[in-house]
Structures are given as C-alpha cells and as structure tokens.
Chains A and B, each alone.
Chain A
Amino acid sequence: MIQFFGVSKLYPRERLALDDVSVSIPRGQFVFLKGPSGAGKTTLLKLIYRDELPSSGRILVNGRNVAAIPRKKIPYLRRTIGVVFQEFNLIERKTVFENVSYLPRILGASVREQKRIAYRTLARVALAHRMGAFPSELSGGEQQRVAIARALINEPEILIADEPTGNLDPELSREIIRLFIEINRRGTTVVLATHDPTIIHRVGHRILVLDRGRLVRDRVLTSSRDTFGVRGDSHLPPEDAAVAERAS
C-alpha cells in the first residue's frame, strides 16, 4: 500500500513540484498517473522509491515512512519496488541476462541460480530466448520488456513505470501495457505515469491526474475497459471497486 499525506516537494529556486498531495493506493491496484509535462508525475514516483525526499508531509510504503528510512536501509526498500523508465536504462555493454540479473548477483546468487531466475523472469516477458543478446540487438519494445524483467526479477510488491511507452510506437505500446496488466493480475501494485490519453481511456483503471503539482482528479474508468488481449475475469481489486463506486 502506498499512502501520501499532505506531501509537498519544493525543489531549489522555489520550484514547487508537488503541492499538498494526499492519496492512497491499495495493494494490487493498477493506477495511471496522468498529467502534462512538469505536472509532478516523475517527482511523485521518485518519492515512492526514495529517490527524492518530500519537503513536507508523510509517505508510507507498505506501512513504512520512507522519509524516515536511514540511508543504509534504502536499498532494502528498493528491492521491494521495481522501476521502469521511458529510456529503458539498460546497460549497452551487458547482455540481456546480465542486465536482468543485477539483483540476484549482488545478493550473492550463484551464476546457475542467476540464470535460472533470469530465464524464469525473461519468460514472463517472452524474451527467454534472447538472454545472450545485447540491448542494441533488440527492438525498442524488446528493450522495454528487458527493463520490465529487471524490475520484476525480485517479485516486487510495487511496480513503478515512468512513461514506459514514451519511446514506443502504438503497437509496441500496446504490447507493453498488456504486460503491465498481466503483472498487475498477479497481485503487483502498478503505478504507471503517462501523458498518453489513448492508453488510459482504453485500459481504464484508476486515474490520478496531476496539474502543476496538485492532485486535481482521482477517478476510476470502468466503461471503456480494454484488457489489450489479456484474458480473465475483472481484476479490479475490492479497493478499486470501492473507489469506482465512489467515483460513479
């Protein structure tokens, strides 16, 4: 669960990135974070995985006050949160396997174990057959799937994605969003920042709209739900359903 209580973030030179934001994201929810450039989407995401500290207010992630976590303990928080960026942030000189298996490696897993975990995770994003490839040999969509696999390697409770389809064409964007829906169906909380309204309106789910640092809208879209080909029952968790009910 992610909770923001009156959170503001003021950058140097008096630039207010977030202004008194209060929001609660229950476990297992799929949340879109929408807003124009400079609305504060990236700042909000960074606050969740403690890449930034709030200027005021309180942020709880799974009940822990992230601002109060000592610096030495931040890595343990981050191991529970997967992060995906628009730019993929893959290391060009490393293979797909090496890119994906950073966490098992630093946790001391044997190479065999690393390969087993990497294979299993890459299979989830349908890239197990490209373990030996370098990022430059992959398409944009494949690279983003590798980045998602890296974020998923430790089965995180929360997956944060900052404009993950920003560099992809519509077809690849669809593919990536489908993957996020699948991941969410397995119980992972997904917070996805985007400014692409077509994705949001087709997928539905809860939408948080930021404008100049303020949370101006919190609603759930249920009417035009498109699962992007992901089969199965509605995966809207009870908390989502409650928010949807309130919103309607």
Chain B
Amino acid sequence: MSPLQALAFFLREASLSLRRSWKVSLLAVFTIAVSLFIGGLFLLLTGNLARIVADWRSEAKAVVYLVDGAAPETVEELAAAARARPWVRGVTKVSREAAEERFAAAFPQLAELLSGWDRGPLPASLEVGFDPEGAEGAALRSWLEELRAHPAVAMVDDDRQWLRQVETLIAVLRGSGLVLGGVLLAAAIFTIASVVRLTAYLYRDEIAVLRLVGATEFVVRGPFFVEGFIQGLGGGLLAVAGLYAAYELALSQSLPTILGSVLLSGFLPPAELLGLIALGGLAGLFGAFISMRREEESAGA
C-alpha cells in the first residue's frame, strides 16, 4: 500500500467512523474547542495589552518636576546634563503655564480646578524622552536617583516604573491563561483519547479481523490517528471561529471604556490562529496515540 493509498484508506475509514459515532465525536470536538477558545482569548487580550504597552514604552519618559522658584540657570544645567546622557532622546521644558494649558486641554471638565489659585498648582517640569532601546540599566537608575536628590527637583516620575508593573500583570495574565488553557487542553486530550478508545472498542471485532488477515499495526491504527487528528483540527477551527465571532460581537457592542479599546485593538495574527488550529490537531493526534497505546496493551498485540 503506497502512502497515498494508505492516507486515502485512513481518511475513508476515519470519516466512516466519525459519521457512525458523530455524537461522541462532536463532544470531543467541543471540548477541544472550549479549551482552545479560552487559551486563545487570553492570547488575544494579553497580546493586545502587550502591544499597547510596547507602544507606550517607546514613548516612555521621565518627568522631572521642579521646585517652585527653581533658578532658570539651574533648570538649564539640569536639561543640558540630561541631553548629555546617551539614552536620552530629547528634553522638553514645560513651564507652569504650559502645564496648565495641557491639563485644561486634556480634561476640559476639570479646568475649573485650576482657577482661584494665586499661582497655578501645577509645577514646571522637564520631560526627558528616552531611547527605548537603551533606556534601562544601572546607570540610568543611578542618574534618576541623583535627580531626585537634586535641590531644584521636587519629584521624578518615571513612566517605565508603572509600565513594568503593567508588563508584570500581563505576564501573570498570560501565564494564568496558559495554565488554564493547558489544563483544559489536557482534559480535551483525555476526552479525545476516550472517544478514540471507545471507537476502538466499538470496532474491536474489525480490528481483530484486520490483525488476523495480516494488516500491519500502521494500517490498523492509522484510521484512529486520522480520526483523532480530524477531531482536534475541528476543535481548533471551531475555537478560531468562536474567537472571531466573540471579537466581532465585542467590537459591535463598541465597548466605551479605554480598557475595552485597548483589549480589542486587534485580532490574533494569522500565525497564532494557525498555531491554535495546529495545536488542536496535535492534541487530537496525541489523544489517539494514548488510546492506541492502551488498546495495544489490552489486545496484547
């Protein structure tokens, strides 16, 4: 039997078996679809979050708030010293007035808060933009500490601190998703293994005849591997379809929150979608492998 003939034989036998026991096969497809859907959902949300955070990181800066009445020469010295650093992309001086204008533009409803003060409440500052590639390391941290200790500096607010926290949160979320998806995938593999085992049990008479007339184990087991693979692939396709439907539904509901727009900023890339489908197929194949090992042990072949 040539490989093509074998494949055709396996496909024919597997499709026959899937048709005959379509209810349990559907159960296997659904369980794998649910596990991949949940894993994919975590991938989608954390992927979007990570992309946004990466964008933010590229624009990350430290804001050096100056004490009230800091001498212009001192401010100029601080700005020049910052520009001299290799990881600094640019330094922008923001006066108290400019800060107030920005605040009023960003939060028009809160603009009234700025009125009634003798002097504006917002301090002048230096905005230090970083080169995203080089803005890490001990030298930078030590420089920021120096700045904090400078008498003309009231406070240093480093964007990268909270970005790191968000990144840690993303990693935790992604890890949780992987663990949850992994557990569900294991359950799905177990389900597929059980379904294939059940099929093998239902067809034990035929398997016995095949072995009796001289079929090789490759021919005996091939249809079951194909069956598990098809179930897994079906589960993967269903999960991807479900993810896309959920994504489109969420978009059509136009989540008004910033979080919503961040989490749904884009769908999974094709490589990840193919990866999910392939993972389904491999899980099915693995389930079939486990069940065939058990069948072989019990048959004593």
Which A residues are closer than 8 A to B by beta carbons?
Answer: 49, 71-72, 75-79, 83, 89, 91, 94, 102-103, 105-108, 150, 153-154
Which of chain B's residues have a CB closer than 8 A to the CB of A49?
Answer: 212
Cβ-defined contact, B209 with A102, below 8 A: yes
Which of chain A's residues have a CB closer than 8 A to the CB of B206?
Answer: 91, 94
Does B106 sit within 8 A of A, measured CB to CB?
A: no
Cβ-defined contact, A102 with B208, below 8 A: no
CA distance A142 to B6 in the complex (A): 31
**Among the listed A71, A79, A108, which residue makes an inter-chain contact with B214, where contact means beta carbons less than 8 Å apart?**
A79
Cβ-defined contact, A106 with B205, below 8 A: no
7 A-B residue pairs with Cβ-Cβ distance under 8 Å, sorted by A, are A71-B301, A72-B216, A78-B212, A89-B212, A91-B209, A94-B206, A106-B1
Top 5 A-B pairs, shortest CB-CB distance:
A79-B214, A108-B1, A78-B214, A75-B214, A108-B5
Which of chain B's residues have a CB closer than 8 A to the CB of A79?
Answer: 213-214
Instruction: Answer whether A108 and B2 are a contact pair too, CB < 8 Å, given A91-B209, A102-B210.
Output: yes
CB under 8 Å from chain A, chain B span 183-214: 205-206, 208-214
A71-B217, A72-B216, A83-B212 known, 5 other contacts, Cβ within 8 Å:
A72-B217, A78-B213, A94-B206, A102-B209, A102-B215
**Among the listed A71, A72, A76, A89, which residue makes an inter-chain contact with B209, where contact means beta carbons less than 8 Å apart?**
A89
Could you count the A-B residue pairs with CB atoms below 8 Å apart for me: how many are there? 52
Does B122 sit within 8 A of A, measured CB to CB?
A: no
Task: Tell me the smallest distance from the CB of A61 to a CB of chain B, in Å.
Answer: 13
Cβ-defined contact, A89 with B219, below 8 A: no
Task: Tell me the smallest distance from the CB of B22 to a CB of chain A, in Å.
Answer: 15
Q: Name the CB-closest residue of A to B203.
A: A91
Does B9 sit within 8 A of A, measured CB to CB?
A: yes
**Among the listed B2, B208, B210, which residue makes an inter-chain contact with A106, where contact means beta carbons less than 8 Å apart?**
B210
Q: Name the CB-closest residue of A to B216.
A: A75
Cβ-defined contact, A89 with B213, below 8 A: no
Q: Name the CB-closest residue of A to B212.
A: A83
Instruction: Answer whether A106 and B217 are a contact pair too, CB < 8 Å, given A89-B208, A91-B205.
Output: no
CB under 8 Å from chain A, chain B span 205-234: 205-206, 208-217, 219
Task: Tell me the smallest distance from the CB of A8 to a CB of chain B, in Å.
Answer: 19
Cβ-defined contact, A106 with B212, below 8 A: no
CA distance A75 to B221 in the complex (A): 14
Instruction: Answer whether A76 and B214 are a contact pair too, CB < 8 Å, given A91-B209, A102-B209, A106-B9.
Output: yes
Q: Name the CB-closest residue of A to B13.
A: A105
Which of chain A's residues have a CB closer than 8 A to the CB of B9?
Answer: 105-106
Which of chain B's residues have a CB closer than 8 A to the CB of A72?
Answer: 216-217
CA distance A75 to B5 in the complex (A): 18
Q: Which of B5, B6, B212 has the most CB of A within 10 A?
A: B212
Cβ-defined contact, B213 with A102, below 8 A: yes
Task: Tell me the smallest distance from the CB of A99 to a CB of chain B, in Å.
Answer: 8
